[in-house]
């Protein structure tokens, strides 16, 4: 009887993620399920920079408190930059999809191995971006890369603590660098 209950509960947690229509994703206890939920959200919400307040609320159950705070701080810094920029200047901002290692975002993801180490986990992912500007079989149509999600346990649940793209800085370092640069270059009255 417990096996059937476990199966039903597991299906109830995973089914909305597979459908991709869940507005606010519940935080499953399993690291792989959190990674699956994170990428389900990312693929269905192509990012154009720092997520807005509504998007961040949807992601909150999957992200560490520290990462949520950094994203909120970066959003405030970007707002300062937008307000302080001259009308004919482009303000300092973070652009592109911040949650995957490609400016354009990703079209597909395949999760790899989950490596557990106490209160930390790393989930490898292979991501693919299909560029519709190129014809089928064109050498530039498909871009494939590897990312690693760093997860940490918070209040008994796994949360995404950082994203390590195969190219460049991790998400936390990118946000910190932007916040510091915005603090130096952008001044605005709040």
- Mean pLDDT value across residues 159-166: 93
What pLDDT, on a 0 to 100 scale, did the predictor assign at position 23? Answer: 38
pLDDT > 90: what percent of the chain? 65
Cβ contacts of 160 within 8 Å, gap of 6 or more: 34, 35, 38, 62, 63, 64, 67, 149, 150, 151
Reported pTM: 0.80
Which range of 40-49, 72-81, 179-188 scores highest in mean pLDDT? It is: 72-81
Over residues 8-67, the pLDDT tens digits come to: 333 334 444 443 433 344 444 599 999 999 999 999 988 778 999 999 999 999 999 999
More confident residue, 125 or 8: 125
What pLDDT, on a 0 to 100 scale, did the predictor assign at position 47? Answer: 73
The pair of structure tokens assigned to 134 is 């190129």
How do the domains of the chain map onto residue ranges? 2-185
Q: What is the DSSP string of 51-71?
A: --HHHHHHHGGGB-HHHHHHH
What pLDDT, on a 0 to 100 scale, did the predictor assign at position 104? Answer: 87
Over residues 85-111, the pLDDT tens digits come to: 988 989 999 988 899 988 888 999 999
pLDDT of residue 1 exceeding 80? no
Please give the mean pLDDT across all residues of the chain. 84
Residue with tokens 């009255």: 189
Q: Between 3.10.450.50, 3.40.630.40, 2.60.34.10, 2.40.10.120, what CATH number should domain 2-185 receive?
A: 3.10.450.50
Report how far residue 43's alpha carbon sits from residue 13's, in angstroms, rounded to the nearest whole number. 18
Cα distances (angstroms) measured from residue 122 to each of 1, 7, 48, 81, 156: 33, 25, 25, 34, 17
């Amino acid at each position: 009887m417990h096996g059937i209950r476990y199966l039903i509960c597991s299906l109830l947690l995973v089914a909305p993620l597979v459908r991709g229509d869940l507005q606010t994703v519940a935080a499953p206890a399993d690291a792989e399920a959190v990674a699956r939920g994170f990428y389900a959200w990312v693929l269905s919400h192509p990012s154009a920079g720092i997520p807005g307040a509504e998007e961040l609320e949807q992601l909150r159950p999957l992200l560490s408190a520290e990462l949520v705070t950094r994203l909120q701080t970066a959003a405030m810094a970007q707002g300062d930059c937008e307000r302080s920029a001259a009308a004919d200047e482009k303000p300092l901002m973070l652009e592109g999809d911040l949650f995957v290692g490609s400016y354009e975002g990703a079209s597909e993801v395949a999760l790899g191995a989950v490596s557990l180490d106490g209160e930390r986990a790393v989930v490898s992912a292979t991501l693919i971006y299909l560029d519709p500007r190129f014809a089928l079989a064109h050498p530039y149509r498909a871009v494939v890369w590897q990312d690693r999600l760093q997860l940490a346990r918070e209040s008994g649940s796994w949360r995404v603590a950082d994203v390590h793209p195969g190219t460049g800085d991790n998400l936390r370092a990118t946000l910190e660098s932007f916040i510091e640069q915005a603090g130096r270059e952008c001044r605005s009255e709040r």
